[in-house]
Structure 1
């Protein structure tokens, strides 16, 4: 007999589409794990996580299994017997060209295995084709932008930026008005043309990445909602403008504060070493997992550290140690006197330690958030993508750090520039004000993810959009 008073189980099958390059798939999995953990016992929501085999192996290997999240491998788009030609972003181009068909084929497998039709698309924002896919399937499209609000705004306004500015004759060099500020875009009045990511007004505008991001900016207003790993209070002007341009725009971060990951293994003894240092005295140096400054800049950093006597932890891949001055690693890392050079460091834990006074960074979005979470001002050396935009906002928008070239132009490390920046942040009154401002942002971030905070409320909205009926489903023939 069926208990007529019992609530029927609500069944949802969320197809999660990950971008398998850079630091995209891991934050998406992080938010999916949080969503899955919030599902009540009487709800049979399942999440099928579609990603390449290589990326799935990497991000699922260190994570605890979850009964309602299952990874599915999709093709990397590389044809059998293909000979790589050494072109920039060749792997990305092959993957993206094959992605719509690859994902559809994987959907069929997941539907057969789960017995549930796909009821929602949750995707990396890069996948502009998800707009048509969701429309064909008659399901909501929830899009995750893994970077910050400033860069998202720049991509949404690409057509306006291009029509307003004088573009270079060739598609590669920066425009003649590189120093012009984007005062015609809400919240971007401090941003200069030269700060924009490649592919908006300079770079090869017809290559895969610019084309992908341009199409993304055009179709994101069709998404049921767009959500990002940030908090509304960081930039209320941009937040309000994005809310006016998108059907629904949600800040649900910082994710590390909302759902703290387990502590990283401190294999090189960074934290015990920090315990012996004075408060706000240590420089932490790291440039992420993708780019490393050229050898001459690594030498400049080392010489500045030697000259300043500032205690430091420098996370640098071991294959780059050969570029450092002779004896630099041995003299410091092995004797643990002034500082340590390590091949890997627990960044979140280091930036949260009271001994750290400055973060020398490439200004990637995740690193920027971790600096705010730790209350540590930054010295920015951006390389590509959204990093220049982030650096501009750090220096001139939020005033929580400094760039190496305050007057603009080529941003490179020199011994004198690093010495000047270290002294400014660690010893001068301006550095003290930066520390006060970033600690205030730290408190706002904690409030945002706390009870009744803006990010907590936005996460509930995101969860409700995924798990609340009614849901129209697409039938697979």
Structure 2
């Protein structure tokens, strides 16, 4: 059947952003009519990671990747923070790089693009959708709490200029502090290109045909109630994790031999690594506690571990260079997840009822950690945001064997139940996903 609908998917190629975007597109593509095709636009490096031709990709024959220029001039030499520089160069190349690739996709398919499904960070997309006369559907890949924080940027900045430190103006986030807010909110737009980007995103999102959020309404009901009237369609559609068949992975084999809810799982994502001093403190805490642990740690970061740590903990701990995180959290063996507090990790932890210890690094990590400890009460934050041996020992013991840990585990299980209910056939996220399908498919 010849395609009659052509959806352009515009990804933000940094951090973990492309992963939930591609997962969402695969889910839509599996549910949409056969004549709906998707062109996925991202940088060559990202596309190479996610469209490798691996087994299983053939079931998504209606998704094709197209490369957009990353904005880096030939022979460019990076200095200082190369990640921030890469983001700046990429943003400077937009929207022209996307428009060029979109024309290529239209010429190749012979079908005009009829809808823009984009990462919400791509603030130009609203103007681009208006220019070509199609609906704009931005996807906020983080939680509703961080979306609310950015929508309240002006109010938070005004509060920050006073002596008051407690956030009180955002429903569902009462009791959090100014220091819990993402750093970009507290910067002036002239100080950071990311701050300016996010400020403009917050201004532009109400123009969208629908705003899609990587969360579920029951997690933050007061926030959902506050945000719904701000948008034409406010659609929380998660969690929608898909767990592959458990392959014979060494860490999964090791996990199967452990008692239920007994393991400390440590994983800081693909970008964040604690300082050498913190690595030592965390390692010494694990060695002292003697709870079984699984640590996903890339080989180059192991040089910061104390001498003899790996051999000394081999009887109860396991280090791997990569772990299939969803399978690990879904195993029932993990009693606490020590994490950077990135949204994907938080949402996965909630979905599988696993308590958390959060050590934030950047972006929404601090806010997510505050929600984990203060609002949802499903875990703890590392004191002062830095691992120390004694505090880490206390935090692990509190969750795995302390009285307060029982309450934290109960709360985690309650949220797991709400997440499970949200994606059932008549659950809130399932209904919102059907509404999203209508918005996208009727655009043709």
Instruction: Classify the TM-score, shorter chain.
Output: over 0.9
Q: Which residue, 286, 292, 302 being the options, matches 1:321?
A: 302
User: Would the aligned equivalents of 1:266 and 1:346 in 2 still touch at CA under 8 Å?
Assistant: no
Partner of 1:81: 75
What is the TM-score when the length of structure 1 is the normalising length?
A: 0.89
What is the TM-score when the length of structure 2 is the normalising length?
A: 0.95
Partner of 2:40: 49
Taking the aligned partners of 2:190 and 2:115, their CA distance within structure 1 comes to: 32
Does 1:149 pair with 2:127?
A: no
Q: Which residue, 24, 27, 33 being the options, matches 2:20?
A: 27
Aligned length: 440
Correspondence list, 1:207-286, <5 A: 207-256=192-241, 260-263=242-245, 265=247, 267=249, 269-286=250-267
Partner of 1:382: 360
Following superposition, the deviation at residue 9 of structure 1 comes to 8.6
Following superposition, the deviation at residue 263 of structure 1 comes to 3.7
Which structure 2 residue ranges, 5 or more long, are not aligned? Answer: none
Q: Which residue, 398, 402, 418 being the options, matches 1:444?
A: 418
Partner of 2:403: 429
Q: Which residue, 191, 202, 227 being the options, matches 1:206?
A: 191
User: Would the aligned equivalents of 1:127 and 1:216 in 2 still touch at CA under 8 Å?
Assistant: yes
Taking the aligned partners of 2:236 and 2:24, their CA distance within structure 1 comes to: 12
Taking the aligned partners of 2:3 and 2:307, their CA distance within structure 1 comes to: 64
Q: Which residue, 272, 289, 294 being the options, matches 1:308?
A: 289
SS of aligned partner of 1:255 = coil
Return closer, same or farther for 1:204/1:158 CA change in 2, 3 Å cut-off: closer
Following superposition, the deviation at residue 224 of structure 1 comes to 0.8
Taking the aligned partners of 1:10 and 1:327, their CA distance within structure 2 comes to: 60
User: Would the aligned equivalents of 1:190 and 1:392 in 2 still touch at CA under 8 Å?
Assistant: no
SS of aligned partner of 1:290 = coil
Following superposition, the deviation at residue 190 of structure 1 comes to 2.3
Following superposition, the deviation at residue 98 of structure 1 comes to 0.3
Taking the aligned partners of 1:240 and 1:40, their CA distance within structure 2 comes to: 32
1:17-55 deviation digits (Å, cap 9, x = unpaired)? 0011111112111111111111234xx111111111110
Following superposition, the deviation at residue 360 of structure 1 comes to 0.8
SS of aligned partner of 1:81 = coil
SS of aligned partner of 1:416 = helix
User: Would the aligned equivalents of 1:231 and 1:445 in 2 still touch at CA under 8 Å?
Assistant: yes
Taking the aligned partners of 1:204 and 1:265, their CA distance within structure 2 comes to: 47
Return closer, same or farther for 1:53/1:348 CA change in 2, 3 Å cut-off: same
Which structure 1 residue ranges, 5 or more long, are not aligned? Answer: 1-7, 168-175, 472-477
Following superposition, the deviation at residue 78 of structure 1 comes to 1.0
Taking the aligned partners of 1:194 and 1:57, their CA distance within structure 2 comes to: 38
Partner of 1:139: 134
User: Would the aligned equivalents of 1:332 and 1:341 in 2 still touch at CA under 8 Å?
Assistant: no
User: Would the aligned equivalents of 2:243 and 2:327 in 1 still touch at CA under 8 Å?
Assistant: no
Taking the aligned partners of 1:34 and 1:284, their CA distance within structure 2 comes to: 28
User: Would the aligned equivalents of 1:223 and 1:247 in 2 still touch at CA under 8 Å?
Assistant: yes
Does 1:332 pair with 2:325?
A: no
Q: Which stretch of the first structure deviates more once superposed, 373-382 or 194-203?
A: 194-203
**Regions of 4+ moved over 6 Å:** none
SS of aligned partner of 1:283 = strand
Following superposition, the deviation at residue 271 of structure 1 comes to 2.1
Return closer, same or farther for 1:9/1:50 CA change in 2, 3 Å cut-off: closer
Does 1:166 pair with 2:157?
A: no
User: Would the aligned equivalents of 2:238 and 2:423 in 1 still touch at CA under 8 Å?
Assistant: yes
1:83-102 deviation digits (Å, cap 9, x = unpaired)? 32334500110011102000
Q: Tell me which structure has the larger Cα radius of gyration.
A: 1
Task: Give the structure with the higher percent helix.
Answer: 2
1:43-72 deviation digits (Å, cap 9, x = unpaired)? x11111111111001011246132211111
Taking the aligned partners of 1:263 and 1:55, their CA distance within structure 2 comes to: 24
Partner of 1:172: none
Partner of 2:173: 188
